[in-house]
Structure 1
C-alpha cells in the first residue's frame, strides 16, 4: 500500500506547470546502455511509433513479426496466453521491460511474462535485442531482451477502432512539456472483443477485455539533474477454455481469468556530459484470479518484485567509456495452494568500451548473488566496424543465465537443488544502411548466430517412480535435465525503389534442438518470414500488405504432434483526411487460413476493422 501511495504522490509532485513543445527523454535501450544502435555489435531491431501505427490494431504479435528471430505461440485469440521466443529460446528466457520496469511474473511457474497482457495501442517504441545479455541485465536475458515504451509526448492524441467479432479499441493520450521545467503525460486504453473459441474444437467464443492507464512525469532542476516517475496499471478479463471431466480434453468451459498488473518506477538522473548516472526504485505486481462459472475461485496467484537500480556511464577521455551498474531485487509469490516464498538477488556489472571513428567495441563482466542458488558470473563483448560508408560489420558474444523461479524452487513440485540455466551465444553480421531508410533507399542485413544452453529446467513426471528425485513427489518435480542448441541465419531487406513505395522482407532460419535427444525443440518453426509493402498512390493515401509465412513445427518434446505451417495475409490502408485526422482500416487473414501455433488452440479467421485517429 505504501509504495502505491508513494507513486501517486510522486506523479502529483512532479506535475509542475509545463507547456507546449515536444519533450526530450533518456530512453532505456535493449542493450542496457545509452549506446547508439550503429555503435553496438549486438543484433538490435528498433520499431518506432510510425511503424506501429502503420501496422494497425491492438495485437502486438503483428508488430513483433517485423523483427527477425521472433516467433510466438498463443492459446487462443488476442489476450490469451502469448509466449514470445527469440532465436528459438524458451518464452520465459526473454527478459521483458516496460517503461524501464522488468515485468516478469514471480508467481508464474517458469517466472516469465505473458505478452497477451500487453497491447500495441499506446506503444511509442519497441526494441528487440537478440542474443544472451546477462552481463548488463542479469537473470532472464538468455534469448534476448524486449523493451517496450509507452507514449509520452506532448499534445493530445486519440484513436478508436471497430471490427470483426465486435472488437473495439480506443486510446487517448496527452502531455504537457517545457524544456526548462519538465513533462507530465497520461495515456489510457480500452480494448474489448467477443473473441474466438480458445479451443479449436469449441463452439463458444471466448472474449477478452482490458483497460490500462499510463503516467509519466519528469521535473528538471537544471540542465544536468532531473527527477522522474512512471507508472502503469492494466486490468483485464479473459474467458478461458479448459479440460473438463469426464474426457479431460480441451473444450469449452465457463472459466474466466482476471489479471491485474501494476508497475512503476521513480528516481533521479544526473547528466554532466562526461558522467551519466541514473538511480531508481521500481516495482512490478501481478495478481491473477481464475473463476468458474459460478464465480468461485479455482486458482489465484500474486507475484511481486521490488528493485533498486543504479546505472551509469563515464567518459573519462576522448573515445573511452565505462558503463557500470548494480541492483538489488526482492521477489515473492503466493498462490491458492502455496503459502508462498520470497527471495533476494544482488548483482553488479562493469563494461569498458571504445567508440572511435569507424570502430566501436565493448567488453564487460557481471557478478550476481542469489539467496537460493548462489553466485553466477557473466561475460560479454561486442564490436562494430564501419568497413566503408554505409557498410558495417558486427559481432558479439554473450553469456546469459536464468535463476530458477520461486515456483520451481518452493512449490509442491519444487526442487531447492536447482541450478540456474546458463547460455553462451555469439553472432556475426553484416549490414548496409539504416532500417528507417532515412538517408538511403536500401537497407540490408544478414546475421549468423548460435546459442548453447546448459542446465535447462524442465518438469519431470514421477508417474510410477518413487525413488531418487521422485521421493515423496508423486506428481513430479523440476530438474536441470536438458542441454539445448539454437543456430541459424537472420536476413532483412528494406527498399524504397521509388517515391511512395516501400518494400520489406524479414527471414529467419532457426535450427533448435535438444542436445540430449537430438530432437527438435517444441514449437520452434525452422523457417519464418514476413513480407511487407506500402504504396502511396497520392500523398494522403497509403496502401499496405503484410504476408507472414511460417513453416511446420512440433508441438511436443517427443516430436510426435505436428503443427502445420501457415501463410497469413493482411491488407491495410490509411487516408490522411487533414493534418489532424486520419482514417484507417485493414482486413486480417485475408484468405481465412486455418492454423494453430499451439496444438488444440484456435486462431482468428478473416476479420475487417476500421478506425480513426485525431492529433491536436
Structure 2
C-alpha cells in the first residue's frame, strides 16, 4: 500500500479538516426558485377567492407554464434545464419543489471530470459506493445508501435497462461509457410509488448526448487506452434530432490482483433521439441505443479454483429504445410510450474449445402512460400506469417469462413556500399478486435560500426469473420490500454560489433474497437443490447522514465536497453488510482563469469495509487523488488532460480483484 493509505482513525479526522473549508461560508443564494413558488401560491389564492365570489388581490406576474413534454425535451436534448428532475415524480419538476433527495450532474460537470469511466462521475453523488471486478469494462455495481446494487432502478433515456438474465436482475455500469452521457438525475431513497418494481434503493435516469451542433473528442493515455466520442444534432421550429456515439480500446490490467496478464476492453455504442411537434399540443418522440463490448476476464481455473489469469472473454450486446407521444393542454399533460431493452452475454474459454461456455439473454417490453392534471393554482394530480413483460434464457436454463401491471396516483400542492406530494400505487404481479406502495414528500422554504425537506417512500423488488426458475431457483420466494425516510435542510443549489445540505436517512428492508448453501442438506428447501438455492432470509437496516457543501472561494474558483456516514447492518446478526464502507467522501476544487484555462483536483476517501457477509475478508480504506486541466486552443477547440490516482494507491473494492494504479491521459475536444 502507498503511504497515503487512510486508516480508520485518520480517515475521519482527514475528512473533517477538508470539509471544514467548504462549511465556513455565508448563506445568501437561490432566491429565484423560492420567489417562483411564492408567485404560484399567490395565483392559487387569487383563483380560490375569485371562485368564492370575493374580491381577489391581483397576483404577481408569473412565467408562462412550460409543458412537461417541453421540459423533458429541454432536459434530455439541450441540457438547458439544470434544476429539472424527472426521478422525483416521473415527469419534469423543479428540484426545489420536491422534498426528495436528488442530485443532478450536467454535461459541464461530466466534461470537467474527464474520461470514459462513469464511476469517477458517480463518486460525486452522496451515499454512493462502487465495486468493480477489475479494469474498466468489468462488472461495476453501484450501491446507494447501503442498498444492494441490484436494488437501484436504472433508466437510460427514460428506458428501464436492467438485465433480467443476470442472477439478481440489476444493471452493470461497466457497460456504460461516461463519454456519451450528457446528464445524470439521481434520486436516493425508495420510490416504488412512482416507479414500481426495483426502486428500493433509488432511481437514476441517465441521458445520452444528442445536443444541437457538432461535437467530438479523442483521448489517449495509460494502459494504451484510446477513447473517442462524437455527437451531432439539429434543432428547429418544432423538432430536434440528435445522434451520439463513443468507443474505447484499452489494454487494461489483470483483473486478478495477483495476476500478470492484462485484461483488455473493446467497447463502442451509439444512441439517438428525435422530437417532432405534430401539432401545437402533440409531440412525437423516439430514442434508441446500442452497445457492444468485448472484455477479457479472469476466472477460477483448476486445480486450485482461485481467481487467477485465464484467457476467458465476455461479449455483451445491449440495445434499448422507446417510441411515444406527448400531449400538452391548458390543464393536462400526457406522455405515453412503448419501450424495450435487451442484454445478451456470451462467455468463451479457449481452454474448452470455440463454443461459448455460457450464454444469456434478458429482454423486457413496457407500455406506459404518465400524466399530470393541473387543478387550480398550485394543485396538481399526477397519475400513470405501466405494463411490463420480462423474459430470460441461458445456456443452462429454459426460456421463462413473467409480467407486472401497475398504476399510481399522486396529489401535489405548491402554495407559497410550501410544496407537498402524497401518492399511492398498486402493482399486480403475474405470480405474486398485488402490492401497495405509499410515498410522500414536503419541501418548505424558510427564506434567504434555505429550505427544509423530508420524504417517505416504499419499495419492492420481485424475485428475478433466475432466482425462480434456474437450477438454483425457488418458486416459493416472495418480493423484497423496503421503507425509507429522510429529513434534510438545504441552502442554495448544487453547483451554484453557496450550497449546503445536511440529510439524515434510514431505510429498513425485509424478505431479502440470499443464496442458501445446501452442502450436506438433502431435505426441505434443499430438495433437488444439491448445490444450494435462494430464500427470503434476511432483514437489513441502513441509516446515516449525508453532508454536501460548496462555495465560490474567489472569482472562477469553486470548492465542493460530499460526505456520508453510513451504518448498514444485517438485522439478524447485527453485523455490517458486505462492501458498505461506513465513511465516504469526495472533495473537488475547480478553477477557471480569465483567459480560459481550467484546473481541477478531486480527492476520494473511502473507509474500510468487508468483502463478504459476516464481516469476513476486510477491505482496507483508501484515498484516490486526481488532477485535471484544460487549455483552449481556439474558441471551439480545447486541449485537456488528467492524472488519475496520482499517489499510485493500491486498493481493492472487491477482494482478489485488481484496481488501476497511476495513469496519465491527454486529449482534444471540439464543438461547433
Q: Fold match, TM over 0.5?
A: yes
Q: Tell me the distance in 1 between the aligned counterparts of 2:153 and 2:339.
A: 16
Residue 460 of structure 2 is aligned to residue 401 of structure 1: yes
- Secondary structure of the equivalent of 1:297? coil
Residue deviations 1:382-423 (CA, integer Å, cap 9, x gap): 000001120010000000000110000111111111110000
Equivalent residue number for residue 46 of structure 2? none
Deviation larger for 27-36 or 184-193: 27-36
Residue 287 of structure 2 is aligned to residue 230 of structure 1: yes
Equivalent of 1:82 in 140, 164, 169: 140
Q: Tell me the distance in 2 between the aligned counterparts of 1:341 and 1:242.
A: 28
Equivalent of 2:636 in 576, 580, 587: 580
- Secondary structure of the equivalent of 2:422? strand
Q: Tell me the distance in 1 between the aligned counterparts of 2:128 and 2:511.
A: 23
Residue 341 of structure 2 is aligned to residue 284 of structure 1: yes
Q: CA deviation at 1:162?
A: 0.3
Q: 1:528 to 1:273 in 2, by over 3 A?
A: farther
Equivalent residue number for residue 597 of structure 1? 653
Q: 1:68 to 1:212 in 2, by over 3 A?
A: same
Equivalent residue number for residue 471 of structure 1? 527
Q: Tell me the distance in 1 between the aligned counterparts of 2:360 and 2:643.
A: 38
Residue 247 of structure 2 is aligned to residue 187 of structure 1: no
Equivalent residue number for residue 300 of structure 1? 359
8 Å CA contact retained: 2:79, 2:106: no
Equivalent residue number for residue 505 of structure 1? 561
Q: Tell me the distance in 2 between the aligned counterparts of 1:23 and 1:179.
A: 18
Equivalent residue number for residue 415 of structure 2? 356
Equivalent residue number for residue 165 of structure 1? 223
Equivalent of 1:340 in 396, 399, 402: 399
Q: Tell me the distance in 2 between the aligned counterparts of 1:58 and 1:498.
A: 30
Residue deviations 1:179-216 (CA, integer Å, cap 9, x gap): 23x11111111111000100000000001111101011
8 Å CA contact retained: 1:233, 1:263: yes
Q: CA deviation at 1:25?
A: 9.0
Equivalent residue number for residue 212 of structure 1? 269
8 Å CA contact retained: 2:85, 2:104: no
Q: Tell me the distance in 1 between the aligned counterparts of 2:565 and 2:283.
A: 45
8 Å CA contact retained: 1:23, 1:154: no
1:405-420 matches, within 5 Å, as: 405-420=464-479
- Secondary structure of the equivalent of 1:555? strand
1:172-571 matches, within 5 Å, as: 172-180=230-238, 182-293=239-350, 294-437=353-496, 441-571=497-627
Q: 1:503 to 1:23 in 2, by over 3 A?
A: closer
Q: Tell me the distance in 1 between the aligned counterparts of 2:85 and 2:556.
A: 33
8 Å CA contact retained: 2:545, 2:566: yes
1:39-188 matches, within 5 Å, as: 39-180=97-238, 182-188=239-245
Q: CA deviation at 1:22?
A: 6.0
Equivalent residue number for residue 606 of structure 1? 662
Q: Tell me the distance in 2 between the aligned counterparts of 1:129 and 1:227.
A: 27
Q: CA deviation at 1:531?
A: 0.7
Q: CA deviation at 1:534?
A: 1.2
8 Å CA contact retained: 2:512, 2:537: yes
8 Å CA contact retained: 2:177, 2:246: no
Q: Tell me the distance in 1 between the aligned counterparts of 2:98 and 2:634.
A: 40
Q: Tell me the distance in 1 between the aligned counterparts of 2:230 and 2:590.
A: 27
Q: Tell me the distance in 2 between the aligned counterparts of 1:531 and 1:614.
A: 28
Equivalent residue number for residue 11 of structure 1? none
Residue deviations 1:326-385 (CA, integer Å, cap 9, x gap): 000010000000112000100000000101220000000000011121111100010000
Deviation larger for 114-123 or 21-30: 21-30
Q: Tell me the distance in 2 between the aligned counterparts of 1:25 and 1:187.
A: 20
Q: Tell me the distance in 2 between the aligned counterparts of 1:146 and 1:262.
A: 18
8 Å CA contact retained: 1:533, 1:545: yes
Q: CA deviation at 1:24?
A: 8.1
- Secondary structure of the equivalent of 2:493? coil
8 Å CA contact retained: 1:372, 1:416: no
Equivalent residue number for residue 38 of structure 1? 96
Quick check: which one's helix share is greater? 2
8 Å CA contact retained: 2:254, 2:261: yes
Deviation larger for 594-603 or 219-228: 219-228
Q: Tell me the distance in 1 between the aligned counterparts of 2:380 and 2:592.
A: 44
Q: Tell me the distance in 1 between the aligned counterparts of 2:91 and 2:473.
A: 35
Select the structure with the greater relative contact order (CA < 8 A; seq sep ≥ 6): 2
Q: CA deviation at 1:560?
A: 2.1
Q: 1:100 to 1:25 in 2, by over 3 A?
A: farther
- Secondary structure of the equivalent of 2:525? helix
8 Å CA contact retained: 1:540, 1:577: no
- Secondary structure of the equivalent of 1:433? strand
- Secondary structure of the equivalent of 1:57? coil
Residue deviations 1:304-331 (CA, integer Å, cap 9, x gap): 0000000001101111001100000010
8 Å CA contact retained: 1:194, 1:206: yes
8 Å CA contact retained: 1:257, 1:289: yes
Q: CA deviation at 1:33?
A: 2.7
- Secondary structure of the equivalent of 1:194? strand
Rg (Cα) greater in structure: 2
Residue deviations 1:577-610 (CA, integer Å, cap 9, x gap): 2221011000000010000000000000000000
Q: Any unmatched runs of 5+ in structure 1?
A: 1-20
- Secondary structure of the equivalent of 2:616? coil
Q: CA deviation at 1:272?
A: 1.4
Q: Any unmatched runs of 5+ in structure 2?
A: 1-76
8 Å CA contact retained: 1:240, 1:254: yes
- Secondary structure of the equivalent of 1:204? coil
Q: 1:563 to 1:273 in 2, by over 3 A?
A: farther
8 Å CA contact retained: 2:381, 2:410: yes
What is the root-mean-square deviation in Å for CA atoms of aligned residues? 1.3
Q: CA deviation at 1:218?
A: 1.5
Q: CA deviation at 1:28?
A: 7.0
Q: Tell me the distance in 2 between the aligned counterparts of 1:270 and 1:25.
A: 20
Deviation larger for 590-599 or 149-158: 149-158
8 Å CA contact retained: 2:150, 2:169: yes
Equivalent residue number for residue 40 of structure 2? none
8 Å CA contact retained: 1:301, 1:336: yes
Q: 1:329 to 1:145 in 2, by over 3 A?
A: same
8 Å CA contact retained: 2:450, 2:491: yes
